[in-house]
Amino acid sequence: MLKLHLRRFAPAAALAVALLVLAACGGEYPNSTFSRHTELNEGAVFLWDRMMLLGTIVFVIVEVLLVYTIFKFRRREGGPGPRQIHGNAALEITWTAIPALILVFIAVPTVRTIFENQRKAPAEALQVEVIGHQWWWEFRYPQYGIVTANELYLPIGKTVNFSLQTRDVLHSFWVPQLGGKRDLIANKVNHIWFTPSASMEPTALNGACVEYCGASHANMRFRTFTVTPAEFERWAAHQKTVAMGSPAAIAAAAAADSAAKAAAKSPVVRAASVVPAVALAPHTDSSSAPEAWVFPAEKIAAYAWPQTPLPATKFDEALLASGDAATGRALLTNPANLGKAPCLTCHVIKGETNYASDDNAKGPNLTHVGSRHTFGAGLYRLDAKSLALWIKNAPAMKPGSQMPTFGAGEYNPAIKAAVPAAAGLDDKQIADIVAYLRSLK
């Protein structure tokens, strides 16, 4: 009976395994854990390879013995009776000792790798603070004074020392291609460090929260852009500036202008004063501001572009083309509009009058939101339509989203009620806000 079935199913099983292996070798796997981009990956892949080899050997021995035994000793009519062996001390010691020996070959490199990975990070490492929120990622670069969200820029060839915290429940930070998961634990600052290999191509990678954190755990994703050190400096120089069009930006531009005039008058001090001006001064005038460098969209592979379907929320898309950034900014920043567009009570736009600080903001910092490729924790492409739908009704696009519904008359699934027409934003106003946000390069 058994033999019959084995014969019947063995080819199917072999085919299935072959298909799996083929599938695993043939396709494109953007989140593979087998890359060797960092020292953490190197250690993990080395151990994996060794365990895979030893594991396969054990697997083959056990299964071959098992199948051999099944066929060899199946009951035959008139065949010999069973040989009565009840135990064999030598054999049993052997199959206790050999696995123990195998484990030594795993344990020694394991312990060595554990201690290597958890050494103190080099002092000159780039510091990045990762802060988890339900359900988005905040990234801070304290050495640069940058606060950003959901898109992480890392210079290749340079060690990055992450310190990880959460503002609410537990999360876990993971970029599969860079290795080394680390949980974000409330009331604790966690650490992990690694070095994206200098030989690595600048590339866009997917990351995700891997500790269950509630309704939108699946939607807590982020992008990592590994860039050259020069590109990183250009990106950082721009990201640390204040928001375009903000009072602070205008004032700073005026100050920079007069400083430049003064410098022109006394050429002797010019060389000394220009360097910090380039490094620190915020600008609005594109001719003098650091160029707004971001990871080029055309170099982002398909897998890193979100394909989340948009909800059925209705929006007059024709309005998007005529959205006016200045009107949008006025809507956001004029205290008279706080009832309808209380954006700055939860978000920070550096240079504007904020009602929240970076330390208590409920939503991502929007200072340079227009320079990002995605939003909603990597859930949507940052284009005008997606952004408009989001402002109109975020909870419909992300279950449990703490960003409320703002569209007039829209049904808010979180509170099971529609926004009164008078209290909400109309499509024109949303289009203006979208235009403003997208101008925040």
Partner 1 sequence: MASHAIPTHASAASPSSEQTGLWSWLTTVDHKRIGILYLYTALFYLLVGGLEALLIRTQLAKPNLHVVSAETYNQLFTMHGTTMVFLVVMPLSAAFFNYLIPLQIGARDVAFPRLNAFSYWVYALGGLFITLPIFFGLAPNGGWFGYAPLSGPTYGGGFNMDFWVLGLQILGISSLAAAFNFITTIINLRAPGMTLMRMPMFTWMSFVVQFLIVLAFPVITAALFFLQFDRFFGTQFYEVSAGGDPLLWQHLFWVFGHPEVYILILPAFGLVSEVLPTHSRKPLFGYNVMAYSGIMIGFLGFGVWAHHMFAVGMGPVADSIFSVATMLIGIPTGVKIFNWIATMYGGSLRFPTSMKFAIGLIAMFTIGGISGVMHSSPPSDLQQTDTYFVVAHFHYVLYGGAIMGIFAGIYHYFPKITGRFMSEKIGSWHFWLNFIGLNLTFFPMHFSGMLGMPRRIYTYDAGQGWDLFNLMSTTGTYMLMIAGLVFAYNFFSSRQRGAAAGNDPWGAPTLEWSIPSPPPEYNFAQIPEVASRYPMWDLKAPDRTEGIAHSHADAATIADAHAVPVHEETERRSAKELGIPMPFPTIKPFMVALGILILFSGLIVLHAGHFALAMATMLGGAAFMVGSLYAWLTSPLE
- The piece of 142-150, 208-216, 248-256, 280-288 that touches partner 1 (CB under 8 A) is 208-216
Regarding 44 and contact with partner 1 (CB under 8 A), the answer is yes
Q: Within 66-95, which residues bind partner 1 (CB under 8 A)?
A: 66, 69-70, 73-75, 79-88, 91-92, 95
Regarding 170 and contact with partner 1 (CB under 8 A), the answer is yes
User: 82 or 339: whose CB is closer to partner 1?
Assistant: 82
Q: Within 343-402, which residues bind partner 1 (CB under 8 A)?
A: 399-400
Shortest Cβ 206–partner 1 spacing (Å): 7
Q: Which amino acid is at 73?
A: F
One residue of 10, 14, 53, 63 binding partner 1 per CB under 8 A: 63
In three-state form (DSSP H/G/I as H, E/B as E, the rest C), the secondary structure along 156-212 is: CCCCEEEEEEECCCCEEEECCCCCCCEEECCCCCEEEEECCCCCCCCEEEEEEECCC
Separation of alpha carbons 312 and 393, rounded Å: 10
Regarding 105 and contact with partner 1 (CB under 8 A), the answer is no
User: Phi first, then psi: what are they for 244, rounded to 5°?
Assistant: -60, 135
One residue of 125, 185, 338, 356 binding partner 1 per CB under 8 A: 185
CB burial readout 219-230, b (16+ within 10 A) else e: bbbbbbbbbeee
Separation of alpha carbons 157 and 143, rounded Å: 18
Regarding 62 and contact with partner 1 (CB under 8 A), the answer is yes
Regarding 275 and contact with partner 1 (CB under 8 A), the answer is no
Strands (DSSP E) contained in 200-270 are 203-209, 221-227
- The piece of 54-62, 142-150, 259-267, 404-412 that touches partner 1 (CB under 8 A) is 54-62
Shortest Cβ 429–partner 1 spacing (Å): 29
Separation of alpha carbons 230 and 247, rounded Å: 30
Regarding 312 and contact with partner 1 (CB under 8 A), the answer is no
Q: Are 361 and 348 in contact (CB under 8 A)?
A: yes
Shortest Cβ 193–partner 1 spacing (Å): 12
- The piece of 216-224, 288-296, 328-336, 389-397 that touches partner 1 (CB under 8 A) is 216-224
Regarding 43 and contact with partner 1 (CB under 8 A), the answer is yes
Contacting residues for 282 by C-beta, under 8 A, at least 6 apart:
241, 242, 248, 249, 252, 253, 289, 351
